[in-house]
C-alpha cells in the first residue's frame, strides 16, 4: 500500500512521521511526503523569522534527513494535478532561479492520498495588494521581509544623523494573531538593533499601524483577551485602527474605505487566508468559499474514501455550526485522526469521526507579554492567563510539535541546544 501525504506543514509532517514509524519501518506500507520546500519550519513562528528573532538555519528541519530517520520517503515538488479515478498525482517541473530544469514533471501513484497543503493569504481581489504588500505564508516570504526590515533600519539609522524626525513606517493589515504578534515582535527587533550597533534608533523611531476591518483586533478570540492584547500594543506605541477596511494599495500607501491614506515603507498583508486556488481544478471536490475542501466527519472527501484532507485546507463542520478554525492545534488533532483511520484501513476497521477540542488560544507579544485563554470548550468558561505563565504555555505548544516529530530525547536535547545558542549567538539574525 502506498500512502502519499502532500504538504509538510505541522499536520502533514506529523502524519508522515507517525505513519513512517508505524507502517514504513515494518514495511507494511510505503509512505511518501511531498512538499515544494526542502525544509520545515513551524508556521506560527514565521513572524519571528520575519523579524530575525528566529534563525531558520538553526530551527528548520530537513525533510530528507527527517524522512531517513523516520522511515518514509521525501519527494520535492509542487502538486499540479490529481487524477482521482486513476489514483495518481502530478508534480510540476522544478526549475532553478535561472530557468534551468532541475526535475521534470512527474506522476506518482497512490492507494491513499492525504492533502495537507495548508493555506495562503487571501487578498480578496483588492487592487494593488499582490503588487505592493508582503505576505508571511512561507519561510521564503518571511526571510524576504526580514531582509527589507534590516535594510530599513540601516537607512533609518543613517537618516537620523540629519533628520531627527525620520521614522521607519510599517503598515500591517489584519488584526488576527499574525498581525498582532508581528507588531509586537517588530518593537523587540528595534530594541535589539540598537544593542547591535544602530545607536540612534529607538522605539520612538518605529511607526507601526495595525489595520483591522472588523470592530476589534483578534476577532476570533474572547473580547477580554483581545482587549488585553490591545492595551499591551498601545503601550508599545502601535497605532491600532479598527473598522479600517482597505480598498486599494499603491506603492507606499494604503487607502481605506473612509478615504484615509496610510503611508508606509513596508506593507504587510495578514488579513485572511484561503486554500490554494489550484484546488478548484480538481474535479468533483466540494469547496467552501475560501477554497477549502469540504470533508466528512472522518476527514475524507464524501465521494472518495481514498482521499483525506487535513489542516487549513480542510473545511470540517462543527456540530453546533461553523467550521473547525484554521489553527495549528486543529492540524495536529486532524493528523492524529487521519493516522488512526489509515491504520484502521489496513485491518478493515471502521473509520472514526473527528471531534475538535478547543484547548484555548494564546497570543505572544514578544518578550513584553503573552495573553490567552485555556480550556476552550473543555469547560463552560475559559481561563484567562497572561504574563510568564502564559509564555510558558505558549512555548509548550511548540514543544508538543517537536515531541510529535522527534520524541522526548531529541526534543530535550534540542531545548538544551536552544539555551546554549542564546549564550553563543546574537539574539537577532543580523545578516
The pLDDT tens digits for 120-139 are: 999 999 999 999 999 999 99
* Residue (of 326, 329, 302, 328) closest to 314 by Cα position: 326
* Residue (of 89, 72, 15) closest to 309 by Cα position: 15
Quickly list H helices, 128-222: 129-132, 139-159, 177-195
Distance between CA atoms of residues 141 and 49, nearest Å: 10
Please report, in tens digits, the pLDDT of each residue of the chain (431 residues total).
Answer: 999 999 999 999 999 999 999 999 999 999 999 999 999 999 999 999 999 998 887 889 999 999 999 999 999 999 999 999 999 999 999 998 888 999 999 999 999 999 999 999 999 999 999 999 999 999 999 999 999 999 999 999 999 999 999 999 999 999 999 999 999 999 999 999 999 889 999 999 999 999 999 999 998 888 888 898 999 999 999 999 999 999 999 999 999 999 999 999 999 999 989 999 989 988 889 999 899 999 999 999 999 999 999 999 999 999 888 899 998 889 999 999 999 999 999 889 999 999 999 877 778 888 787 776 665 443 445 566 666 666 777 788 888 899 999 999 999 999 898 889 888 888 888 77
CATH 3.50.50.60 spans which residues of the chain? Answer: 2-119+275-346, 129-217+225-269
Instruction: Return the C-alpha cell found at 47.
Output: 513572524
pLDDT at 382: 57
Report the number of secondary-structure helices (H) and strands (E) in the chain. Answer: 10, 27
Distance between CA atoms of residues 429 and 349, nearest Å: 50
pLDDT at 380: 46
358 dihedral zone (left: phi>0; alpha: psi -120 to 50; beta):
beta
* Residue (of 395, 129, 372, 417) closest to 247 by Cα position: 129
Quick check: 75 and 32 in contact, CB under 8 A?
yes
Q: Which fold has domain 2-119+275-346?
A: FAD/NAD(P)-binding domain (3.50.50)
Quick check: 358 and 324 in contact, CB under 8 A?
no
- Strand-pairing partners, residue 94, are 103
Look up the CATH superfamily of 129-217+225-269. Answer: FAD/NAD(P)-binding domain (3.50.50.60)
Distance between CA atoms of residues 10 and 28, nearest Å: 24
Distance between CA atoms of residues 57 and 192, nearest Å: 19
pLDDT at 99: 85
Collapsing DSSP to helix, strand or coil, 194 comes out as helix
- Strand-pairing partners, residue 364, are 370
Tell me the per-residue pLDDT of 200-243, one tens digit each, with 9 for 90 and over: 999 999 999 999 999 999 988 888 888 989 999 999 999 999 99
pLDDT at 398: 86
Contacts of 288 (CB under 8 A, 6+ apart): 294, 315, 323
Distance between CA atoms of residues 246 and 228, nearest Å: 25
* Residue (of 341, 339, 385) closest to 359 by Cα position: 385
Taking the whole predicted model, whether its pTM rises above 0.85 is answered as: yes
Backbone torsions φ then ψ of 100, nearest 5 degrees: -80, 135
Amino acid at each position: 500500500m502506498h500512502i502519499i501525504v502532500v504538504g509538510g506543514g505541522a499536520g502533514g509532517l506529523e502524519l508522515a512521521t507517525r505513519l513512517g514509524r508505524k507502517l514504513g519501518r515494518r514495511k507494511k506500507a510505503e509512505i511518501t511526503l511531498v512538499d515544494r520546500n526542502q525544509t520545515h519550519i513551524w508556521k506560527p513562528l514565521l513572524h519571528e523569522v520575519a523579524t530575525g528573532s528566529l534563525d531558520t538555519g538553526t530551527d528548520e528541519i530537513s525533510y530528507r534527513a527527517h524522512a531517513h530517520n523516520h522511515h518514509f520517503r521525501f519527494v520535492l515538488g509542487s502538486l499540479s494535478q490529481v487524477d482521482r479515478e486513476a489514483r495518481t498525482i502530478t508534480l510540476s517541473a522544478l526549475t532553478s532561479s535561472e530557468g534551468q530544469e532541475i526535475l521534470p514533471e512527474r506522476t506518482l501513484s497512490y492507494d491513499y492520498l492525504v492533502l495537507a497543503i495548508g493555506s495562503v493569504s487571501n487578498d480578496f481581489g483588492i487592487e494593488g495588494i499582490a503588487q505592493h504588500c508582503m505576505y508571511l505564508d512561507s519561510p521564503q516570504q518571511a526571510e524576504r521581509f526580514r531582509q527589507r526590515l534590516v535594510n530599513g533600519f540601516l537607512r533609518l539609522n543613517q537618516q537620523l544623523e540629519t533628520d531627527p524626525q525620520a521614522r521607519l513606517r510599517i503598515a500591517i493589515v489584519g488584526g488576527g494573531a499574525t498581525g498582532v504578534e508581528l507588531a509586537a515582535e517588530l518593537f523587540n527587533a528595534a530594541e535589539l538593533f540598537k544593542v547591535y550597533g544602530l545607536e540612534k534608533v529607538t522605539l520612538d523611531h518605529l511607526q507601526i499601524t495595525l489595520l483591522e476591518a472588523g470592530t476589534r483586533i483578534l476577532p476570533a478570540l474572547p473580547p477580554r483577551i483581545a482587549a488585553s492584547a490591545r492595551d499591551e500594543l498601545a503601550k508599545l506605541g502601535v497605532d491600532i485602527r479598527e473598522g479600517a477596511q482597505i480598498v486599494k494599495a499603491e506603492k507606499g500607501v494604503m487607502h481605506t474605505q473612509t478615504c484615509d491614506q496610510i503611508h508606509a515603507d513596508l506593507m504587510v498583508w495578514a488579513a485572511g487566508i484561503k486554500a490554494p486556488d489550484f484546488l478548484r481544478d480538481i474535479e468533483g471536490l466540494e469547496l467552501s468559499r475560501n477554497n477549502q475542501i469540504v470533508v466528512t466527519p472522518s476527514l475524507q472527501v464524501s465521494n472518495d474514501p481514498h482521499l483525506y484532507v487535513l489542516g487549513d485546507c480542510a473545511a470540517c463542520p462543527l456540530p453546533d455550526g461553523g467550521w473547525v478554525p484554521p489553527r495549528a492545534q486543529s492540524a495536529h488533532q486532524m493528523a492524529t485522526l487521519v493516522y488512526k483511520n489509515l491504520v484502521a484501513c489496513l485491518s478493515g476497521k471502521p473509520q472514526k469521526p473527528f471531534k475538535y477540542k478547543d484547548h484555548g488560544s494564546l497570543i505572544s507579544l514578544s518578550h513584553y507579554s503573552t495573553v490567552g485563554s485555556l480550556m476552550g470548550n473543555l469547560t463552560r468558561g475559559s481561563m484567562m492567563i497572561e504574563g510568564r505563565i502564559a509564555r510558558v504555555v505558549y512555548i509548550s505548544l511548540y514543544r508538543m510539535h517537536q515531541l510529535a516529530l522527534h520524541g522526548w530525547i531529541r526534543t530535550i536535547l534540542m531545548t538544551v541546544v536552544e539555551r546554549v545558542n542564546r549564550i553563543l549567538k546574537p539574539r537577532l539574525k543580523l545578516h
